[in-house]
Amino acid sequence: MRLFGRKSEPVDPAEAIAEFWTWWRDSRPEIDAGVEAGDAAHLDGLIGGAVTALHPSLVWEIVSGGTAPRALVVSASGDPELRSFVHRWALAAPVDVQWEFHPSRQADPRAAELTTEVAGRPFGIDRMVLGLRVPPGTPRVDVSAFHPIFPDVDDETRMEATLLALDRLLGEDEVARWIGDIVAAEFEPIDAIPAIHLPAVVADVAQGFRDEQWALLEGQTASGGRLTAAALYPLRPVDHPLFDQHIGVTLTYRDADGDGLPAGTSLDALRDFEKRLAGLFGRTGSAVLAAHLSAEGTRVLHVYADPTSDVVQEIEELVAGWDEGQAWIDAESDPSWSAVAHFLT
């Protein structure tokens, strides 16, 4: 069944989610009848309006389920501002043996058998080939995609078809995790391989990033001072879809070297603080330390958390015990992780 989208004004997210599931319960007989009859036009009006009420930029589709007969997918379609919203929508879904509910498009094990229509032409993933490049040491696979119909369609249509194919092969979230640059090519790339082999290539790349890793970086402040930073690597919001609250923790320290970086007892104190912070997150599972920066006698830690948790209060208690200097926190909504944009991979 094809994807549908609608436009209107958004409402309060929590209220919209609650209203959707109330509507779903009341409309189930009509929805099931429309699916059984294959009445796409009726379902477009019925479900499309309800999804629009959730948020005007969401798209939806009905597909076969993994364990249930069918699944409703409501997708943010790559918009990081909406990822946490659709995940909360899915978490609020009722238990239903006939339906599954997903906040992103799922990989389809029958992707190679699928044929859809693109610009009036049959589009089968089995005829798509990919040129793949894995930049050394990176958690990304760059893709150049080609299909026999691509020379005859415009750039936008080629890209839309490519993105849909990648979602079917890997699943939308895995595309966000592992796929880098995407080109929808007019000509077949050199050394292209059948698209159906992409999941195996991605699995091989992912194998090298199973354990937690940190990237260490250096730079300069606006005044020319030395700056050091550390960030989780890979650092990707898709790995923590409910952590859309940014908590900035600022700590000043007494003992610094000639560049203003922590040294001696202050360095030990910062390490101990981070250890206790990690212990807190390990207990709650509701936050992650994404990165920290040190310069000019100050360290700033960037934490992302589930705003429905008590993480802010618990960090406040931890910060209250900081005796090296001043300490404070700032918390705000940041679903796209803009505060750590320079570290995202």
Tens-digit pLDDT profile for residues 269-305: 999 999 999 999 988 899 999 999 999 999 999 999 9
Tens of pLDDT, residues 46-58: 999 999 999 999 9
**Across residues 298-317, what is the average pLDDT?**
96
Q: Which two tokens stand for residue 326?
A: 């001043």
Residue 11: the pLDDT is 59
Domain boundaries, the chain: 4-102, 111-207, 214-343
For the cut 70, the answer to whether the pLDDT of residue 8 exceeds it is no
Residue 220 pLDDT more than 60? Answer: yes
Q: Write the CB contacts of 196 (distance below 8 Å, at least 6 apart in sequence).
A: 111, 112, 125, 126, 169
Please, are residues 290 and 278 in contact by the beta-carbon 8 Å criterion? no
Tell which CATH classification among 3.30.70, 3.30.750, 1.10.287, 3.30.1380 matches the domain 214-343: 3.30.70
328 vs 320: CA distance, rounded Å = 9
Q: Distance between CA 168 and CA 183 in Å, rounded?
A: 17
Task: Say how far apart CA 226 and CA 223 lie, in whole Å.
Answer: 9
Are 247 and 287 in contact by the 8 Å Cβ rule? The answer is yes
Question: 291 CB contacts (<8 Å, ≥6 apart)?
Answer: 229, 230, 231, 232, 235, 301, 302, 340, 343
Could you please report the per-residue DSSP string of 198-224? HHHHHHHHHHTT-S--EEEEEEE-TTS
Residue 172 has pLDDT above 60, yes or no: yes
pLDDT the model gives residue 9: 46
Structure confidence at residue 114 (pLDDT): 85
The residue that leads in pLDDT, 92 or 8, is 92
333: left (phi over 0), alpha (psi -120 to 50) or beta: beta
Percent of the chain beyond pLDDT 70?
97
What is the residue-averaged pLDDT of the chain?
93
The answer to whether the beta carbons of residues 25 and 99 sit under 8 Å apart is: no
Residue from 259, 261, 275, 250 nearest 330 by CA: 250
| Overall average pLDDT of the 317-335 stretch | 96
Tokens of 282: 């390990």
